Amino acid sequence: MKLTLNDKIVTFYDTIDELPIKRYNLLNKYSLIDLGIGSDVSDIVRHHSRFNQFLELKDYDSLYVENENLMINYNFILSSKNIKGYVLASLIKEIDGEKVEVSDSNIEEYVDFLEQSDLTIGQLDTYTDNLKKNFLRL
């Protein structure tokens, strides 16, 4: 997939087979965080609902975990971190034809690049969802 962002042509990895192992691991890390914790208000609602279910069931171990996930989600929102941005950044292959190396140590730079573009939250959701579907192994 190619997008024009910040007047630059950004190429993303399209399939799991293209990904270097380190990048695959980075994608898995941020996809897992996005799936389990999330980073927006709808995820907070989901956590509260699960929290209440576990409270009713008196499942205190799960309740504790859900509370931790809720607190991390709040922290992401308060620190303006949208995990889907990290998922998409982990899939950047090239910018203007130059290969990029995205890692834990520099991913913030690429997330900032995405956030400073005219990419909307709807596009971010659509692109990350579509790219993740391409990466599912059956």
Tens digit of each residue's pLDDT (9 = 90 or more) over 113-130: 999 998 888 888 888 877
- Find the mean pLDDT for residues 37-53: 87
Q: How confident is the model at residue 137 (pLDDT cuts 50, 70, 90)?
A: low
State the total domains in the chain: 2
Of 35-49, 87-101, 118-132, the range with the highest mean pLDDT is 87-101
Average pLDDT, the chain: 88
Whether residue 121 sits in one domain with residue 85:
yes
Whether residue 62 sits in one domain with residue 31:
no
Whether residue 3 sits in one domain with residue 24:
yes
- Find the mean pLDDT for residues 53-58: 94
Is the pLDDT at 138 greater than 50? The verdict is no
Whether residue 89 sits in one domain with residue 75:
no
Neighbours of 126 (CB within 10 A): 11
- Find the mean pLDDT for residues 77-103: 91
- For residue 118, the enclosing domain spans 1-37+81-138
Beta pairing, strands 98-99 & 8-12: unpaired
Whether residue 64 sits in one domain with residue 132:
no
Question: Checking phi first, is residue 43 left (phi over 0); if not, alpha (psi -120 to 50) or beta?
Answer: alpha
Whether residue 109 sits in one domain with residue 60:
no
- Find the mean pLDDT for residues 61-81: 88
Is the pLDDT at 8 greater than 90? The verdict is yes
